[in-house]
Amino acid sequence: MTAEPQFVFYDGNCGVCHSFVEFVVRRDRRECFHFAPLGGQRFAELIPPELRSRLPESLVLRTPSGELFYRSAAVVAVLRELGGGWRLLARVLERVPVRLRDAIYDQIARIRNRLFRRPADVCPPLPPQFRSRLHL
């Protein structure tokens, strides 16, 4: 029996988010992450309405226990779970104060459309072997 997956909810209209999803799915050897767009059906199923309205428009990680991480904390938690050198990077990032990490996250979010092209679809282009972990 496999454990319930962790869900990474992402902005389907954001090139940075698409790139992050592609980055994670290719390194997630244990296949513990599944992916779905913010505001999609899976997001509505797993995140109660009272929480949805309070979440910032950012990357959101939902653990199997229902714990939510967002913004830079979601990135750090994902890196930690990927293991290896990514876990080491997560430990380094955890030493950076959350306010500073989130300020950097927010700055990147503000200029994301200049950094990455806006995607044509909410679904990142993934090879067929990874598509089963994408919930639209």
* Alpha carbons 80 and 84: distance in angstroms, whole number: 8
Closest CA to 4 of 41, 40, 23, 31: 31
12 pLDDT above the threshold of 60? yes
* Residue 13: both structure tokens together: 């209209």
pLDDT tens digit sequence for 43-89: 999 999 999 888 888 899 999 999 999 999 999 999 999 999 999 99
Residue entry with tokens 């505001």: 39
The pLDDT confidence band at residue 136, using thresholds 50, 70 and 90, is low
Q: Are 77 and 61 spatial neighbours (Cβ–Cβ below 8 Å)? A: yes
DSSP 129: G
Average pLDDT in the chain: 87
The Cβ of residue 29 has, within 10 Å, a number of other Cβ atoms equal to 9
Please tell me the distance from the alpha carbon of residue 73 to that of residue 38, in angstroms, as a whole number.
17
The pLDDT of 100-124, averaged and rounded, is 80
Strand order in the sheet with 68-70: 33-37, 6-10, 60-62, 68-70
Structure confidence at residue 121 (pLDDT) = 64
**Structure token digits, residue 46:** 């797993």
Cβ count near 96 (within 10 Å)? 13
pLDDT band at 3 (very low <50, low <70, confident <90, very high): low
3-12, 13-22, 117-126, range with the lowest pLDDT: 117-126
pTM, full prediction: 0.85
Asked whether residue 1 carries a pLDDT value surpassing 60, the answer given is no
- Listed ranges 16-30, 48-62, 69-83, 106-120; the one with the highest mean pLDDT: 69-83
